[in-house]
Amino acid sequence: MHIPDGFLSTPVWATLDVVSAPAVAWVARRAQRDTQDNRIPLLGVMGAFVFAAQMVNFPVGPGTSGHLVGGALLTVVLGPAAASLVLTAILVLQALIFQDGGVLALGANVFNMALAGVAAAYLANRLWAHASRSVAIFAAGALSVMTSACLALGQLLISGVPMTGGVLWASLGLFLISAIMEGAITVAAVRAIERLNPAWITPQPATSRAVAAIAMAALVLVVVGTLIASAAPDGIQRLTMQGVDSVGWRARTMAGLVGIAMIFALCYLGGKLKSRRRSA
Amino acid sequence: MSRVIQIAGLRYRYPDGTQALDGIDFHLNSGESVALFGANGSGKTTFVLHLNGLLRGEGSIEICGMRLADGTLEQIRSKVGVVFQDSDEQLFMPTVLEDVAFGPLNLGLSPDDALTRARTVLKRVGMAHAFERAPYHLSAGEKKRVAIAGVLAMDPEILVLDEPTTFLDPPTRRDLLSLLRSLPQAKVVVTHDANLARALTSRAVFFDQGRITGQGDVIEIIQRFHWEYS
Amino acid sequence: MSRVIQIAGLRYRYPDGTQALDGIDFHLNSGESVALFGANGSGKTTFVLHLNGLLRGEGSIEICGMRLADGTLEQIRSKVGVVFQDSDEQLFMPTVLEDVAFGPLNLGLSPDDALTRARTVLKRVGMAHAFERAPYHLSAGEKKRVAIAGVLAMDPEILVLDEPTTFLDPPTRRDLLSLLRSLPQAKVVVTHDANLARALTSRAVFFDQGRITGQGDVIEIIQRFHWEYS
Amino acid sequence: MHHLVIDRWSRGSSSLHQRDPRAKLAALLVFLVVLSTTRPGAQWAFVAYAVLLILTANLARLPILGLASRAALVLPFSATFALLTWWSGDSLRALALAEKSFLSGTAALLLVGTTPLTGWTAALESWRVPRMLILVIQFVYRYLFVIAEQVQRMRWAALCRGPKQRGFRLAAGLVGVLFARSWQRADGIYHAMLARGFRGRFVPAPPAPFRSSDALFLSTCLAGCLAIRMLL
Ligand SMILES: Nc1ncnc2c1ncn2[C@@H]1O[C@H](COP(=O)(O)OP(=O)(O)OP(=O)(O)O)[C@@H](O)[C@H]1O
Ligand SMILES: Nc1ncnc2c1ncn2[C@@H]1O[C@H](COP(=O)(O)OP(=O)(O)OP(=O)(O)O)[C@@H](O)[C@H]1O
Ligand SMILES: [Mg+2]
Ligand SMILES: [Mg+2]
């Protein structure tokens, strides 16, 4: 679910921009560090592959079909850092060229899909890796979609987009269906790829299940917490909205511009620190 | 001699504005073979994609007496077998046999009949040894044979081949050539290769910027447009 | 007459166990052109990837008197220019000019010098009109020219071409041929096209299952292995 | 192919095309922030923004209708939520949702319609967006068309042999083959890069100078946006 501009209230998009920018910088550094040179064209081509694979229709039931979203597939094939980076690149292109998701909302979309979605896929894949490969990959696909969609819904609610209980449950139901579909499609795609060349799917190294479980639980808490907090009728939503609406437009514009300035300041400092560390 | 293809005033513009076909009149008789010549980007592939309704332009297309329209699309697709330039794109099932059986199954044959037909056709193109292999691991020439088998298994009346010999070595080309000559279907062959055209077809059509600017005897067309090099 | 390539006992096995090269001895003199013939899968492309160390097999490879090893890799890559089969893989930068300047920049030229050199080379291959265009907007023949320009911009002493004429129409082939003939570099040309080989090279080498089973005058090799079809 | 049209637009030669990408990107951000913070009821402000965008498109010599129809791609999504909002009784807000998302989309299109990909990625890079991300964006864009066309032909090939093409396994097979081809292509590209002296680092192009005309453009945009926002 790509959120366009105009949906999120200023504090929400500004906060998520501020959070996502350094996170992407960190992810880029990681992706650069733990990969060889040949990964640059690989990551680019894999991004184009996901774009194109989304055009393939997977029939499910009479008259309906779904398509691959791809976050979990990329995570399984490339590892989490590289997958995040590729998805961020796709989101930037979608926002600017394909009118799919907003520019100011880029932070939110990157957070939901490229960061949280990939984290969910990664953790799920690790957590259930020794139960069964298929279960792990199914969970990775399903949870990545569910996480992204729930976060987006929560952000819309916090921003004051009104939704009645019925609509909310209906959307959650839809998310669940697309999550199950993504899980099934990811499993089928990974199987097809493995049959062509098993070496393409990097096996998951065994890690501490406890750590993965705790991280997973934290992620679920964040997602569910966001949803509950934002759906509560007189909760955060009203608070935020009143807070925002009572402030003058000048202050809000300033807040937005300051938010952008902060993002750049952070990135700039990050870059400085990095280069200092490198030259040291 | 019945007309299997009859096309009048075909035009097609790609969504980005490229006018790829600009008024094409074309016909093919049953059992006849024709070569399509033309410079890169002159519209040959675009034309070929119209023959079984993968692209839909303006103008009238009649295949085996049926007008191409939404209602006849399925029937027409089973009559026109298109072999694309790139075999890798055409072979998507896990094994050779399954791949060739894919078409017959879609035509509604029972799985047993479909497999039997697939085996027969694969023997015909000389690939009886590779039923269970993965298409991905075959050599270029073998892939091309399987791709042709997949199309022949649909029992088409017209065979359309887009640059069938690229990447094939000369002996494989010769084998493919004699396979194609032994097939009784009417053929449309897109090629840059004058030798292939001479060996396989008698008539040629010359494309230029989305129009047909010349047609006639294949040797005469090759000479008229200097369509050979050495 | 100096040797620019001298190879002895080259063997290479792909990670999946395919023995693609099985003891190759080969040499090339400066300014000379040689054609590589051989069936599909006989190891020609694998061989070519060894000439600038993209693959590293057993055996000794000397390029312009330097033994190929980790230390000489960079120098050798600037001496051997490889034009791959698929131009789309070779043109990876966003614009034509940037793409051609990519090599010179990597050689350590200043951005200004690199761009100047790129412009000169692009003019030379007749692509002066397309500096700012994106590679995916070009036609097949134009892509091939830009790919050759990108290699020429590195000022190599040896030019290696893997099936340079696939997908090109006859006039474009003729143009490419005369361009290649006007280049003074030593050339290794992988091709299935006997006409191209005859026009461009005097000597030919025949690959069979990872070995060289024949070499000599190009016409004689074509006849000996029936490497032509009609 | 949507992005090819935008690509063609971006290679125009109007005065807007010649502005520094950094100025245009900054102007876009200012516009979006001002728009995003506009009060839902301020209908005249929205009209003024639209006029501002039309004037800019005119200056760039881009087709207004083409621009609007492409920006309208967001409308299905916006309209759904606008309807929901309308039902809940907040019609002003409902209208504002649709207006804001549509105008934002148009503004983004104006940027990419007057700036080639290399331009705006260079601007992002000069703002310290990680180089790795920039490279991946460029590669994705470069191979988008190539691989999308491959999918198209694969689907066609399947369609030719199965008019009623259904089947989960078939789709998975297509994705698998596509993946394999993409992987091989990436290998090929990497080989081509190595063959031309690549040593793990792309040599960056020198940034173009930021001219006074670019500064003038940016300040005009800033003044225009703020004026609308304050006066209406
Ligand atoms: N998907 C597409 N979108 C837009 N334009 C296209 C598309 N495919 C082809 N074209 C354009 O349509 C024209 C005809 O292309 P087509 O592929 O039919 O040529 P062709 O005769 O098959 O060339 P070749 O000999 O190189 O295969 C060309 O100008 C080409 O650039
Ligand atoms: N990446 C790879 N992994 C494993 N085997 C490979 C790989 N690439 C090629 N091979 C195999 O190595 C052998 C030599 O292949 P190569 O591509 O060098 O042949 P070629 O002479 O260039 O053939 P063609 O004329 O079809 O291009 C073949 O058997 C092929 O299947
Ligand atoms: Mg074609
Ligand atoms: Mg080869």
Ligand 2 atom 26: residue of nearest CA: C40
**What number does the ligand 2 atom closest to the CA of C21 have?**
14
Supply the pLDDT for residue A233.
45
Under the banding of pLDDT at 50, 70 and 90, the label for residue A261 is low
Q: Are B132 and B96 in contact (CB under 8 A)?
A: yes
**The pLDDT value given to residue C1:** 66
| Chain D nearest C-alpha distance from B206 (Å) | 24
> Residue A205: what pLDDT?
62
CB contact under 8 A, B39 and C169: yes
Domain count, chain D: 2
Q: Is a pLDDT exceeding 80 seen at residue D94?
A: yes
Q: Within this chain, do residues D147 and D167 fall inside the same structural domain, yes or no?
A: yes
Alpha-carbon distance of C17 to B137, in angstroms, equals 13
**Domains identified in chain A, total number:** 1
* Average pLDDT across chain B, whole number: 91
| Domain-located, residue B113 | yes
Strand A58-59 and strand A65-66: the pairing is antiparallel
Rounded CA gap, C221 and C154, in Å? Answer: 33
D14 and D113 housed in the same domain:
yes
Phi-psi map region of B9: left, alpha, beta (phi>0 left; psi -120 to 50 alpha) = left
| Res. B47 pLDDT band, cuts 50 70 90 | very high
Q: Are C101 and C115 contacting, i.e. CB atoms less than 8 angstroms apart? A: yes
Least confident of B111-120, B122-131, B211-220, C57-66: B122-131
Same domain for D57 and D76?
yes
Ligand lying nearest the CA atom of residue D4? 1
Residues 6+ apart with CB under 8 A from B7: B24, B25, B26, B27, B50, B59, B60, B61, B62
For residue C95 and ligand 2, the question of a CB distance below 6 A is answered with: no
d(CA D115, CA D121): 10
Q: Which domain holds residue A92?
A: 10-275
Residues in a beta bridge with C207: C38, C212
What's the mean pLDDT in C201-206?
96
State the nearest Cα–Cα gap between D161 and chain C, in angstroms: 25
Whether the pLDDT of residue A279 is over 50: the answer is no
Least CB-CB distance to C154: which of D117, D196, D203? D196
Residue B114: which of B122, B104, B127 has the closest Cα? B104
Decide if B186 is inside a domain. yes
Q: Which ranges constitute the DSSP H helices of chain A?
A: 10-33, 39-53, 71-78, 80-96, 106-109, 118-127, 133-158, 165-196, 209-231, 236-246, 249-279
Give the C-alpha separation, B155 to C86, whole Å. 34
Averaged over D95-103, what is the pLDDT?
93
Query: pLDDT tens digit string along B123-132?
Result: 988 889 889 8
CA angle B98, B101, B102 (to 5 degrees): 85
User: B67 pLDDT exceeds 90?
Assistant: yes
Has residue B86 been placed in a domain?
yes
Strand partners, A59: A65
Q: What is the pLDDT of residue A13?
A: 93
CA distance C195 to B153: 35
Contact criterion met (CB < 8 Å) for C39 and B228: no
Q: What per-residue confidence (pLDDT) applies to A88?
A: 97
Q: How many domains does chain B have?
A: 1
**Ligand 1 in reach of B19 Cβ (< 6 A):** no
Answer whether B92's CB lies under 8 Å from D177's CB. Answer: yes
Q: What is the mean pLDDT of chain C?
A: 92
D51: three-class secondary structure by DSSP: helix
What is the mean pLDDT of the segment spanning C93-106? 92
Residue-wise pLDDT for D8-34, tens only, equals 899 889 999 999 999 999 999 999 999
D11 and D30 part of one domain: yes
Which residue range forms the structural domain that includes residue D47? Answer: 5-125+207-231
How far is the C-alpha of A142 from the C-alpha of A121, rounded, in Å? 8
Q: Is residue B194 a part of any domain in this protein?
A: yes
Range of the domain at B133: 32-45+74-224
A7 in contact with chain D, both atoms CB, cutoff 8 A: yes
d(CA A24, CA C211): 50
* Interface membership of D192 toward C (CB under 8 Å): yes
**Tokens read off for A38:** 């040949």
How many Å apart are CA B211 and CA B207, to the nearest integer? 6
Q: What average pLDDT score do residues A249-272 get?
A: 55
| d(C-alpha A173, C-alpha A175), whole Å | 5
A14 within 8 A of A253, measured Cβ to Cβ: no
Q: What is the pLDDT of residue A256?
A: 52
What number is the average pLDDT over the span D44-59? 94
> Using CA of residue D209, residue D213, residue D217, residue D218, what is the dihedral sign?
positive
| Mean pLDDT score across all residues of chain A | 81
The lowest-confidence range among A104-113, A228-237, B179-188 is: A228-237
In a domain, C193, yes or no: yes
B33-38 and A58-59 strand pairing: unpaired
Confidence of residue A236 (pLDDT cuts 50, 70, 90): very low
CB contact under 8 A, D177 and B154: no
Ligand 4 centroid to residue C162 C-alpha, Å: 7
Categorize the per-residue pLDDT at A201 as very low, low, confident or very high, splitting at 50, 70 and 90: confident
Q: Does the pLDDT of residue C68 top 80, yes or no?
A: yes
Please say whether the dihedral angle defined by the alpha carbons of residues B71, B99, B149 and A55, taken in this order, is positive or negative: positive
pLDDT interval class at A178 (50, 70, 90):
very high
Atom of ligand 2 nearest to the CA of C49: 18
Which residue, B201, B204, B128, B120, is CA-closest to B155? B120
Contact C14 CB / ligand 2 (< 6 Å): yes
Does the distance separating the beta carbons of A37 and D171 come in below 8 Å? no
CATH (domain of A166): 1.10.1760.20
Check: CB of residue B19 under 8 Å from CB of residue B173.
no
Residue D81 to chain B, least CA–CA distance (Å): 30
CA-CA-CA-CA torsion sign (D40, D42, D47, D49): negative
Which single residue is written with the structure tokens 């920018």?
A21
**A30 C-beta neighbours (distance < 10 Å), count:** 17
Q: Is the CB of residue B195 below 6 angstroms from any atom belonging to ligand 1? A: no
Confirm or reject contact between C98 and chain D (CB < 8 A): yes
pLDDT of residue A242: 44
In the stretch 49-78 of chain C, residues with CB closer than 8 A to chain D read 49, 52, 54, 74, 77-78
Return the structure tokens found at A154. Answer: 């929560």
**Which pLDDT belongs to residue A232?**
56
Q: Is the CB of C18 under 6 A from ligand 2?
A: yes
* pLDDT over threshold 90, residue B197: yes
Query: What residues 125-184 of chain B have any CB closer than 8 A to a CB of chain A?
Result: 134, 136
Residue C13's pLDDT is: 95
**C203-207 average pLDDT score:** 97
pLDDT score, position A272: 54
**Is residue A244 predicted with pLDDT exceeding 70?**
no
SS3 category, C5: strand
Residue D92 zone, left/alpha/beta (φ > 0; ψ -120 to 50; rest): alpha
D59 in a structural domain: yes
Dihedral sign for Cα A73, D156, D187, D145, please.
Answer: negative
> How far apart are alpha carbons C45 and C163 in whole angstroms?
9
pLDDT at D57 over 90: yes
Atom of ligand 1 nearest to the CA of B47: 18
pLDDT score, position D84: 85
Instruction: Give the pLDDT confidence score for residue C38 in this predicted structure.
Output: 94
Answer yes or no: is D202 within a domain: no
Q: Whole-number mean pLDDT of chain D?
A: 89
Considering the domain architecture, whether residues D111 and D50 belong to the same structural domain is answered as: yes
H/E stretch holding C217 reads: strand C211-217
Residue range A11-33: mean pLDDT, rounded:
92
Determine the pLDDT at residue A127: 83
pLDDT tier at A280, thresholds 50, 70, 90: very low
Query: Residue C45 Cα, ligand 2 centroid: separation in angstroms?
Result: 7
Which is more confidently placed, A86 or D41?
A86
Task: Give the chains touching C; criterion: ≥3 Cβ pairs < 8 Å.
Answer: B, D
Three-class DSSP labels, chain B: CCEEEEEEEEEEECCCCCEEEEEEEEEEECCCEEEEEECCCCCHHHHHHHCCCCCCCEEEEEECCEECCHHHHHHHHHHEEEECCCHHHHCCCCCHHHHHHHHHHHHCCCHHHHHHHHHHHHHHCCCHHHCCCCHHHCCHHHHHHHHHHHHHCCCCCEEEEECCCCCCCHHHHHHHHHHHHHCCCEEEEECCCHHHHHHHCCEEEEEECCEEEEEEEHHHHHHHCCCCCC
Strand, coil or helix: what is D224?
Answer: helix
For B136-162, write each residue's pLDDT tens digit.
888 888 899 899 999 999 989 999 999
Give the H or E element holding residue D152: helix D131-161
For the Cβ of C45 lying below 6 angstroms from any atom of ligand 2, the answer is yes
Q: Above 90 in pLDDT, residue A257?
A: no
pLDDT at A254: 58
Distance from CA of B9 to the nearest CA of A (A): 32
Residue C51 lies in a domain: no
Residue A235's pLDDT is 42
CATH number at residue B194: 3.40.50.300
Nearest ligand 1 atom to alpha carbon D1 = 3
D200 in any annotated domain: no
pLDDT for A230 equals 64
- The pLDDT value given to residue A258: 60
Q: Which of D153, D162, D170 is opposite residue B89, by nearest beta carbon?
A: D153
- Residues from chain C contacting residue D196 (CB–CB below 8 Å): 77, 102-103, 106, 150-151, 154
Report pLDDT for A266.
Answer: 57
- Interchain CB distance below 8 Å, B91 and D177: yes
Region A127-134 average pLDDT: 82
Question: Which range has highest mean pLDDT (A210-219, A233-242, A256-265)?
Answer: A210-219
The residues, ordered by sequence, that sit 6+ positions from C30 with a Cβ below 8 Å of its Cβ are C1, C2, C3, C4, C157, C186
Per-residue model confidence (pLDDT) at position C222? 95
Cα Rg of chain B, angstroms: 17
Task: Give me A122's structure tokens.
Answer: 């990664």
> Which amino acid, one-letter code, is at B141?
G
D28/A156 Cβ within 8 A: no
> Is position B23 within any domain?
no
Length in residues, chain C: 230
Question: For the segment D131-165, what is each residue's pLDDT rounded down to a tens digit?
Answer: 899 999 999 999 998 899 899 888 888 888 875 65
> Which pLDDT value is given to residue B32?
95
Tell whether pTM > 0.80. Answer: yes
**Cα of B8 from ligand 1 centre, angstroms:** 20
Q: Which atom of ligand 2 is nearest to the CA of C39?
A: 25
C34 with C189: CB under 8 angstroms?
Answer: yes
Is the pLDDT at A278 greater than 90? The verdict is no
Element (H, E) at D225: helix D212-231
Any ligand 2 atom below 6 A from CB of C17: no
Question: Mean pLDDT over residues A222-238, rounded?
Answer: 59
Residues B64, B68, B72, B74: is their CA dihedral positive or negative? positive
> How many CB pairs (< 8 A) connect C and D?
80
Question: Is A120 inside any structural domain?
Answer: yes
3-state SS assignment for residue A272: helix
